Every structure is written in C-alpha cells, then in structure tokens.
C-alpha cells in the first residue's frame, strides 16, 4: 500500500481504488401487513444491500399502513398514500432518512387519497402511478424530491390500474400494471420522467397478475411475483428500459409469492417479504438476483419483521441514478 499523505496522481488513485472501503447502500422497507392477520405495521426496516446481515428496525412511519407507493432519492425514502388500519385511503407523502432512524417528515399530500398506487424515481423526481381513489385510476403525479410540497399532476397512464409494479432509469419510468376494476392487466407503459405528459405503451408482460414488485438498474427493469385468479406466482421477467417490446422470462423466485416489495442497488435486485399459498403467513425472506444476468433468485438475508401485502420500499443506491 502507498503512503496516504500528500497529493495523489490520478494513476495512483485508480490503482488503489479497490482498497477503499465501500459505503453501505441502504434500502428501507416501510409498513405492510404482519403475520397471519390483516393488521398493518408502521415499522420501517433498514437493510444494507451490500451485506447479508438481517435488516434492522429503523423507526416508524407516521401511521401503520400497507399498499403505499415507495421510491427514493440518495438521502431519503418516500412512502406515499396507502391503506391504514381502517382500510380506507390516505393522501400523505412521508419521507424517512436512510441515515437517521428518528427523521420522519410529512412531505406533502397526493392529489387525492389513494391506496395501491406504485412509485418510481430517478435522482430528482418521484412519480406515483395509478392506484385506487374509490376505484382504479390512471392518474400520474409527481414530486420534486429535494423540495417538500404536494404532488402535481403529471399526465395519465395508458389504463386505469392498481396493485401494480414500477421501475425507472435516469430517463424513463416504467409501470407494470396490475389490475383495473374489472380485469387483470398485462400492460407495460412508460413515461419520460423529466417532462410531463401521458404514458405510452411499451409492451406486455409474460404473465398477467397483480400484487407484484419491480426494480431496475440504469439499463434493465425487473418484475417479479404476484397473484391471479386466487393463485400466487414465482415468475421473474425483464425488459430493456431504453427500448420498447414485450418482457422476457428471467427466472423464478424460491417459491410462489404474493405482495412482496422490491428494491435494488446498481448490481443486484432484492425481493423482500410477501406471502406464500400454504397459509398466507407473512414472509421475512429477502431474495436476490443479479440484474444483468438471468436465472433464479437465491435466499440472501432476512427482514427483522415479516411483512406482506405490499410494503413500500426505497433504495439509496437507486436514487443515485444520474
């Protein structure tokens, strides 16, 4: 190793870059339903995506809820809307620091009370897509994550939807739709996050169901898990975000899974929580895939509290997409 004193040349910095410690890349899993009941939780769990250590209890949301939209910047995770203990709808957007477990902030409000929306973000904007506002909606709305305030209308999705999944690159936001009021959907649509306007059709998923999860690196979007017609699913499929076209099979989860959440860093994607078909008990498993390849998920780590039915999630690493 060199002497660290003095000024280094660029060549020396590059030569020893691998010796520097890698900072943690945190994800937050926020809320959800717990165990065999439909009781909601307000627990926020933090997980280091570079470690196999169990997640830790990292504070609380403003109120217990499930079915909220999750997205994040490099510094805070967002939890928008959701279904509280009385099974109604809320319009609150709250943020939670990745670094300080006591820092929970009321950021603003959605354009209407909403449960079962989905969220996506690049490094600047967060977008909330669809949901249930007394019926499925096609509403797209956005916030500028660095500035507290209420959500603003962005445009419309190609179809009204709820219980959907989403992901994003630095430029595009992708929605893998779930269900409308009358039918399950296999529609994928996209928006340009930096502008406003209506979504455009991207293609179709390999399967049609709701209560699935999504995540991405800057190139590839992943969709996993879900349910249809009372059956739960283990399929994982992927798209190339910069193009359009139908999704392609990626692999399978460890087991069928309904209502997990998804998050990622630049290399790996994680599927956390959910429930299986045997007894609908909430799961504490965190599964991992390598986004750039294909193949089945592997058991990677555990949540500190088992959660199901669409907890929200956000990742500091994904928030850094430039």
HSE-CB at 201 with a 13 A cutoff on CA atoms is 9
User: Who contacts 278 (Cβ-Cβ below 8 Å, separation ≥6)?
Assistant: none
Q: Indicate left, alpha or beta for 85 from its phi (over 0: left) and psi (-120 to 50: alpha).
A: alpha
User: Who contacts 290 (Cβ-Cβ below 8 Å, separation ≥6)?
Assistant: 267, 268, 269
Helix (H) or strand (E) holding 11: helix 10-15
**What six digits make up the tokens of 261?**
């959440």
* The pLDDT of residue 19 is above 70: no
Interval 230-240 mean pLDDT:
95
**What six digits make up the tokens of 127?**
């977008």
Interval 87-96 mean pLDDT:
97
- pLDDT at 319 (0 to 100): 75
The share of the chain scoring above pLDDT 70, in percent, equals 91
Question: Which of 162, 203, 198, 167 lies closest to 179, judged by CA?
Answer: 162
**What six digits make up the tokens of 305?**
């509290």
E runs forming strands in 3-151: 26-30, 43-48, 56-60, 65-66, 69-72, 76-80, 83-84, 90-97, 104-114, 118-121, 125-129, 137-144
* The pLDDT of residue 288 is above 80: yes
- pLDDT at 230 (0 to 100): 79
* The pLDDT of residue 13 is above 70: no
Q: Tell me the CA distances in angstroms from 27 to 4, 74, 205, 265, 313, one per residue in order.
A: 32, 10, 26, 9, 7
DSSP single-letter state for residue 319: H
pLDDT band (50, 70, 90) for residue 224: very high
* The pLDDT of residue 15 is above 80: no
- pLDDT tens-digit series, residues 295-311: 999 999 999 999 999 99
pLDDT band (50, 70, 90) for residue 229: confident
User: Who contacts 105 (Cβ-Cβ below 8 Å, separation ≥6)?
Assistant: 76, 94, 95, 96, 148
Averaged confidence pLDDT in the chain: 93
- pLDDT tens-digit series, residues 127-181: 999 999 999 999 999 999 999 999 999 999 999 999 999 999 999 999 999 999 9
**CATH node for 25-319:** 2.120.10.80
pLDDT band (50, 70, 90) for residue 6: low
Cα distance between residue 273 and residue 70, in whole Å: 15
All structural domains of the chain with their residue ranges: 25-319
- Return the minimum-mean-pLDDT range out of 1-15, 134-148, 180-194, 291-305: 1-15
pLDDT band (50, 70, 90) for residue 318: confident
- pLDDT at 296 (0 to 100): 98
E runs forming strands in 212-308: 213-216, 220-224, 227-228, 231-240, 248-257, 261-264, 268-272, 283-290, 298-307
- Return the minimum-mean-pLDDT range out of 118-132, 211-225, 276-290: 276-290
pLDDT band (50, 70, 90) for residue 10: low
DSSP single-letter state for residue 90: E
* The pLDDT of residue 8 is above 80: no
Helix (H) or strand (E) holding 316: helix 316-319
Describe the chain by its helix, strand, coil percentages, rounded to 5. Answer: 5, 55, 45
DSSP-based three-state secondary structure for 17:
helix
* The pLDDT of residue 121 is above 60: yes
Interval 197-210 mean pLDDT:
96
Residue position matching structure tokens 């930096």: 194
- pLDDT at 265 (0 to 100): 94
* The pLDDT of residue 18 is above 60: no
Between these two residues, 238 and 229, which has the higher pLDDT value?
A: 238
């Amino acid at each position: 190793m060199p002497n660290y004193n003095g000024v280094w040349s660029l060549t020396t910095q590059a030569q020893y870059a691998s010796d520097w410690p890698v900072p943690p890349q945190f994800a937050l899993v926020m809320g959800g339903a717990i165990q065999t009941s439909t009781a909601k939780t307000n627990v926020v769990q933090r997980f280091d995506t570079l470690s196999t250590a169990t997640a830790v209890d990292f504070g609380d949301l403003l109120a217990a809820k499930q079915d909220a939209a999750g997205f994040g910047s490099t510094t805070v995770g967002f939890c928008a809307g959701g279904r509280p203990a009385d099974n109604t709808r809320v319009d609150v957007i709250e943020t939670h620091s990745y670094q300080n477990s006591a820092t929970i902030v009321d950021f603003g409000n959605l354009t209407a009370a909403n449960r079962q929306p989905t969220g996506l973000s690049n490094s600047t904007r967060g977008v909330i897509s669809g949901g249930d506002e007394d019926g499925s909606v096609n509403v797209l709305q956005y916030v500028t994550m660095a500035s507290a305030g209420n959500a603003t209308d962005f445009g419309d999705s190609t179809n009204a939807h709820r219980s959907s999944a989403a992901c994003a690159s630095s430029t595009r936001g992708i929605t893998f739709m779930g269900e409308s009021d009358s039918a399950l959907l296999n529609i994928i649509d996209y928006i340009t996050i930096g502008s406003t306007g209506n979504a455009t059709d991207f293609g179709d998923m390999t399967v049609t169901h709701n209560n699935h999860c999504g995540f991405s690196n800057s190139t590839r979007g992943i969709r996993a898990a879900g349910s249809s017609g009372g059956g739960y699913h283990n399929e994982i499929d992927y798209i190339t975000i910069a193009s359009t076209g139908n999704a392609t099979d990626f692999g399978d989860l460890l087991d069928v899974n309904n209502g997990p959440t998804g998050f990622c860093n630049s290399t790996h994607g994680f599927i956390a929580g959910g429930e299986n078909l045997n007894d609908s008990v909430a799961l504490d498993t965190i599964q991992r895939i390598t986004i750039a390849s294909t193949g089945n998920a592997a058991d990677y780590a555990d949540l500190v509290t088992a959660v199901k039915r669409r907890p929200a999630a956000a990742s500091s690493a994904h928030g850094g997409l430039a």
